[in-house]
Amino acid sequence: MWLDEVPGQVDPRSRDAVEARWSRARWGLRVTAFWCAAELVVSLLGLVWALATKGSSLPLAGPRGTQDLVGYAFIAVLAVLPMPAAAWVAKRSVDKIDWRRKPHGWLLYPVVVGPLQALGLLLALIAVVGNDVLSWWQPVLVLVVGTAIPVLATAAARRAVLRQPLRELGGSEFVVQLPLRSPQGGGQDSLLLTGDRLRLTVRTAAGRPAQQPSTKDIELSAITEVGVRPSTPEDRAWAWLADGRGVSVPPGDVVVVRTRHDAQLLPVDAEFAELLRARVAMRGREPMRIDFGGC
């Protein structure tokens, strides 16, 4: 089945830990998929029943006839379209990375698909039984349950993959997104670790936000050394914004990444060093540990 195998390559040294995470995650993803499919089937069956009996009127349609058919068609599109649309978007992502390897983005799909399909199910139910038969709380219940189940199931799947310790994901190709530490925060300063590169995105870390984010890619194959040390007042800017301003290193530990060309400081949790080291090692050569002599 499409969720059986761990997506992407897995280092044999990390296989047990990665497969355990994926085994828990895929159940949540399957619950989401089966729930949305069940909503779609029930909605369509309800519409077929309503069309066959002609015994109901839609809140979106006026007199029976052409307007009723337009209303039925609208509900059918509302019930059917979200799932294939979400699948189409997932397969045509700009980064070309399999959506199953991007747990940080999983929630986007049920948050969009869930409410739309729940609304389609509710309108199909109204088409069958009539609006006057339902109490006020029943439509609310349909919308809440129809939305909550796929969202909660997907959130549980995401949590199963991204739970601590994150270093266990180093031997896989799961994409890991982490916030970068900065005084301003704002959630727009982050790093993204994929199967072959490390991408830094910085926009708010130097006082006022820049109009456009600044990005830097580091190929994993170019990384030669990784270490952790405390930041110092002598540290130079660790990133440059799109408008030319340098970003000073915030207090706390920093991960130092050295490549064949330069060195990059990352104000991120020290555990990321082990995650990065394992991800680079999966590509054939583990980077050396940097010894800062007790700094």
- Rounded CA gap, 176 and 112, in Å? 22
Confidence of residue 68 (pLDDT cuts 50, 70, 90): low
Say which residue, 171 or 291, is predicted with more confidence.
171
Residues 167/17, Cβ–Cβ less than 8 Å: no
pLDDT mean across residues, the chain:
86
Confidence of residue 223 (pLDDT cuts 50, 70, 90): very high
Confidence of residue 56 (pLDDT cuts 50, 70, 90): very low
pLDDT digits (tens, 9 = 90+) for 138-168: 889 999 999 999 999 999 999 999 999 999 9
State the pLDDT at residue 57: 47
> Which of 27-41, 63-77, 105-119, 175-189 has the lowest average pLDDT?
63-77
Strand partners, 10: 172
pTM, entire model: 0.86
Cis amide leading into 165 (omega within 30): yes
Say which residue, 77 or 295, is predicted with more confidence.
77
Say which residue, 115 or 206, is predicted with more confidence.
115
